[in-house]
Amino acid sequence: MREFVIGVNDAGQRIDKFLLKACPKLPKSLLYKTFRKKDVKCNGKRVSAELFVAAGDTVQVYLPDDCFGETVHHAPQAALPLPEIAYEDADIVILRKPVNLPVHADNEGASDTLAGRFVYYLAQSGSYDAAAEQSFTPALCNRLDRNTEGFVIGAKNAAALRCMNEKIRLGEVRKQYLCVTVGQPPRACATVTAYHAETSGNRVRLYDAAGEGRREIRTGYEVLAVREGLALVLVTLYTGRKHQIRAQMAALGAPVLGDGKYGDAAVNRQYGERHQLLAACRLRFDFSEADCPLAYLRGKTFAYTPDFCARYAFECSV
């Protein structure tokens, strides 16, 4: 028999989800068979897999100990560079991701990721003790392409993670980007709608009409400055899909400078740019509710000016 006392970061989730995280070596089929046999108890009572656990609950699973395997602690395996921190409090960290660093492990097999740096930083600073946690690992709430720089939000505890993920889902975290484009979009300011579908080769395609496998996207943009055939554009995301900004700007006839997938390779070589000049550099928390765990962030804005603005002599005040 294995017994668990539910901690603060374990609370608020279904008991089956907790056990799958706390016992990663326990086969899912065996766990649900155990539920069907009524061999899972919470506070001494037999329960179903749909029960939500609370802090302080005692969970017992009646199986031989060798069914569970050794406990897996999600601590970083090696030292990593510390991330650049734009903001930190007891619940969240706003990280500034550099170009050429993946947010999570990708198909290039990188061992250095922003998620890894985040967990390593929290472990080093004493904000996270992997050995003390049963099911929770600090996590990032949004992601960026490997070669896009900018803000990524990290949650230090389970309540913050659930709240921030929900606010992002509801569109209450406003994300804006600056980019340099080759040429100008057709209008100085607009919000455009398109239909997004993933294709082969890690690419996406945009369509003018809805169709099977296509998801609606909305992208706002404003041309801030134009100089020698290039434009500095402020982009607002109202949806968040793979390569959304890069594909949309290319579809508007103004691809992001340096973009190897959707841009002009000859122009990129002319300027010597090997990565897209795109930065997620403005973030605002437009929370509608004042009683969520992160309510204190309501109305707060974070911003910086990416280095490529000065490199192309674009004046930009954040």
Tens-level pLDDT at each residue, the chain (318 residues): 889 999 999 999 999 999 998 888 889 999 999 999 999 999 999 999 999 999 999 999 998 887 776 655 555 557 888 899 999 999 999 999 999 999 998 766 668 899 999 999 999 999 999 888 888 999 999 999 999 999 999 999 999 999 999 999 999 999 999 999 999 999 999 999 999 999 988 899 999 999 999 999 999 999 999 999 999 999 999 998 999 999 999 999 999 999 999 999 999 999 999 999 999 999 999 998 777 899 999 999 999 999 999 999 998 766
Cross-strand bridge partners of residue 280: 150
User: What is the number of residues in the chain?
Assistant: 318
Cross-strand bridge partners of residue 191: 220
So what's the pLDDT on residue 318? Answer: 62
Same domain, 217 and 145: no
Angle CA 230–231–236, to nearest 5:
145
> Which pair of tokens denotes residue 216?
């609606």
**Residue 318 forms part of a structural domain:** no
Same domain, 209 and 284: yes
Task: Find the domain containing 254 and state its range.
Answer: 173-311
Instruction: Quickly count: other Cβ atoms within 10 Å of residue 202's Cβ.
Output: 11
So what's the pLDDT on residue 68? Answer: 78
> Which pair of tokens denotes residue 166?
């929900």
43-73 pLDDT, tens digit per residue, is: 999 999 999 999 999 999 998 887 776 655 5
Tokens 């007891």 belong to residue: 90
Collect all residues with Cβ–Cβ distance below 8 Å to 133 and sequence separation of at least 6.
Answer: 7, 9, 73, 74
**H-helix or E-strand containing 169?**
helix 158-169
Overall number of domains in the chain: 3
Q: Which of 146, 133, 154, 14 is nearest to 75 (CA)?
A: 133
* CATH code where residue 286 lies: 3.30.2350.10
Q: Under a CB-based contact definition with an 8 Å cutoff, are residues 140 and 103 in contact? A: yes
Same domain, 46 and 111: no
Q: Under a CB-based contact definition with an 8 Å cutoff, are residues 176 and 236 in contact? A: yes
Between the alpha carbon of residue 204 and those of residues 137, 190, 192, 194, 242, the distances in Å are 31, 22, 17, 12, 7
Same domain, 177 and 296: yes
Tokens 């992208």 belong to residue: 219
**Residue 74 forms part of a structural domain:** no
Strands of the 58-61 sheet, one edge to the other: 2-5, 58-61, 40-42, 45-46
Same domain, 180 and 63: no
Collect all residues with Cβ–Cβ distance below 8 Å to 219 and sequence separation of at least 6.
Answer: 191, 192, 194, 235, 236, 237, 238, 239, 244, 245, 248
What percent of the chain lies above the pLDDT cut of 70? 95
**Residue 283 forms part of a structural domain:** yes
So what's the pLDDT on residue 135? Answer: 87
Same domain, 98 and 222: no
Same domain, 201 and 294: yes
Residue where a domain stops, chosen among 150, 169, 188: 169
Same domain, 15 and 139: no
So what's the pLDDT on residue 70? Answer: 63
* CATH code where residue 58 lies: 3.10.290.10
CA 78 to chain centre: 23
Tell me which DSSP letter residue 297 carries. G
**H-helix or E-strand containing 182?**
strand 173-182
Q: Under a CB-based contact definition with an 8 Å cutoff, are residues 254 and 183 in contact? A: yes
Instruction: Write b or e for each residue in 4-22: b if 16 or more Cβ atoms lie within 10 A of its Cβ, otherwise e.
Output: bebbebbbebebbebbbbb
**Residue 101 forms part of a structural domain:** yes
Same domain, 153 and 184: no
Tokens 């990129």 belong to residue: 268
**Residue 200 forms part of a structural domain:** yes
Residue where a domain stops, chosen among 141, 169, 197: 169
